Amino acid sequence: MDGVPRIDGERLWRSLMEMAAIGATPAGGCDRQALTDADRAGRDLFRRWCEEAGLAVTVDEMGCMMARRPGREDHLPPVAMGSHLDTQPTGGRFDGPLGVLAGLEVMRALNDAGLTTRRPLVLVNWTNEEGCRFAPAMLASGVFAGVFDRDWAWARTDAAGRRFGDELARIGYRGTVPCRARPWHCHFELHIEQGPILEREGKVIGVVTGAQGTRWYDAELRGRAAHAGTTPMDARRDALAGAAEAVLALERLARETEGAVATAGILEVVRGARNIVPGQVRLSVDLRHPDDGAADALEARFAAELAAIAARRGLEHAFTRIWAFPALRFDEGCIAAVRRAAEAEGLPWRAMVSGAGHDSCYVARVVPTAMIFVPCRDGLSHNEAEWCEPEHCAAGCRVLLRAVLEMAEDGA
Ligand code: HGY
Ligand code: MN
Ligand code: MN
């Protein structure tokens, strides 16, 4: 299938850099966390660009922005493209925005070519993919997929106790359109790999066949706050020393479990001070594995070690799973369309499973879905130094365009 419109890689790059300037950090990254003023500014810019491209933008009750391009047979279920504009606090410029702005470039390229696809197209900015301010991650795509209830999602609070629903209204993006599954024909997401495989193997395209399972936990250790100067070492119930042992146990157990990754990303001493033996500590745990049974076993091993550490140190403890999604496989037809697109572009590709979670992981529950990866330098992401070469951004966009066109023109 040729006569494929040309994408404008420089225009895509300019859009990426203009979006990256919103919430830009001194170290060259982005802090555009969900529902902050920076997120609002990024949304406003995205909306303007979509409207300039002739797309009709709607906002749903979870703040998801959906930009629609009519099709020749406009009643048909649309082909969707999506990703997210929100970032981590020390995020990069590509994690999320690449998928959203490459989708915009697809729309712009079709406009330049005067081409109207058979099916309508929809471009989505999914709200709160990262989950760093409002846990869990992928909150809006989870509501869309029926995994989370809208009111439960609206009630999620950030560290300052602000409610998701209130913040969404505050930035002016709490729409009225129901956030629920739609009869889309399919959904594609372009994303940086956020890992080292493509770069290490010299591949440009990842044909993403699925994603590993992810689980998030809250752990808490309670000992006894005491005077740092007068409390003998053998009379202490030090919650932070216990947490330190737990973090090292988590790392050791994950290293011992083939295919596992586990991270303690947040460690908080509650009302700590330099001269108080820590009495209460909170710890976050992120555990992932391509096989759900292996993840269950690792979870059980860590829970047992945490209990043993607490018992040995005279600490009370709690270990609660707050979120989980299982390993999943994407739609075979969409995977094949991505593979054909990479081959048609003559790009070196490989099939792979995503180590990160993405909105596509939830959308895939209700719409046939697949993802496209491109390399990022040193496999680095969730870091301000995150980088994706302009030619890789353009290559990923070309593959996205071809996959979308194939599905938007198919007779099925
Ligand atoms: O945590 C993740 O995998 C995603 O970046 N939110
Ligand atoms: Mn992402
Ligand atoms: Mn991310």
User: Are residues 149 and 119 part of one domain?
Assistant: yes
Asked whether 130 lines ligand 1 (CB < 6 A), one says yes
CA distances to 67, 122, 180, 218, 258 from 297, in Å: 43, 41, 34, 18, 12
Contact 91, 29 (CB under 8 A): yes
Q: Name the pTM for this structure.
A: 0.94
Kind and range of the H or E element at 166? helix 164-170
**Domain boundaries, position 280:** 213-325
- Cα(301) to ligand 2 centroid in Å equals 29
Under DSSP, the state recorded for 79 is E
Which amino acid would we find at residue 198? Answer: L
Counting ligands in written order, which one lies closest to the CA of residue 96?
2
Domain boundary among the residues 295, 325, 355 is at 325
User: Are residues 85 and 126 part of one domain?
Assistant: yes
- Cα(111) to ligand 3 centroid in Å equals 30
User: Are residues 199 and 346 part of one domain?
Assistant: yes
Which CATH number goes with the domain that contains 346?
3.40.630.10
pLDDT range class, residue 73, cuts 50, 70, 90: very high
State the total domains in the chain.
2
- Cα(99) to ligand 1 centroid in Å equals 14
Calculate mean pLDDT across residues 295-301.
98
User: Are residues 232 and 199 part of one domain?
Assistant: no
Tokens of 204: 């440009």
User: Are residues 364 and 316 part of one domain?
Assistant: no
In a domain, 344, yes or no: yes
Pocket test for ligand 1, best of 86, 382, 386 (most atoms within 8 A of CB): 382
Domain boundary among the residues 266, 292, 325 is at 325
**pLDDT value for 412:** 52
In a domain, 320, yes or no: yes
| Per-residue pLDDT reduced to its tens digit, 326-370 | 999 999 999 999 999 999 999 999 999 999 999 999 999 999 999
d(CA 284, CA 268): 9
d(CA 107, CA 115): 10
**pLDDT value for 43:** 99
In a domain, 151, yes or no: yes
The ligand 1 atom at the shortest distance from the C-alpha of residue 214 is 3
In a domain, 3, yes or no: no
Asked whether 61 lines ligand 1 (CB < 6 A), one says no
Counting ligands in written order, which one lies closest to the CA of residue 213?
1
Which CATH number goes with the domain that contains 288?
3.30.70.360
In a domain, 1, yes or no: no
User: Are residues 316 and 342 part of one domain?
Assistant: no
Domain boundary among the residues 325, 344, 374 is at 325
Asked whether 356 lines ligand 1 (CB < 6 A), one says yes
- Cα(320) to ligand 1 centroid in Å equals 19
User: Are residues 345 and 284 part of one domain?
Assistant: no
In a domain, 4, yes or no: no
User: Are residues 47 and 148 part of one domain?
Assistant: yes
Q: Which residue has the tokens 């197209």?
A: 121
Give the count of alpha carbons within 13 A of 190, CB side only.
35
Residue 3, pLDDT above cutoff 90: no
Question: Closest by alpha carbon to 204, among 402, 396, 4, 354?
Answer: 396
User: Are residues 143 and 22 part of one domain?
Assistant: yes
Residue 195, pLDDT above cutoff 90: yes
Does residue 136 have a cis peptide bond before it, meaning omega lies within 30 degrees of 0? yes
In a domain, 307, yes or no: yes
The ligand 1 atom at the shortest distance from the C-alpha of residue 129 is 6
User: Are residues 241 and 140 part of one domain?
Assistant: no
| Per-residue pLDDT reduced to its tens digit, 279-296 | 999 999 999 999 999 999
Residue 1, pLDDT above cutoff 70: no
User: Are residues 261 and 197 part of one domain?
Assistant: no
User: Are residues 319 and 338 part of one domain?
Assistant: no
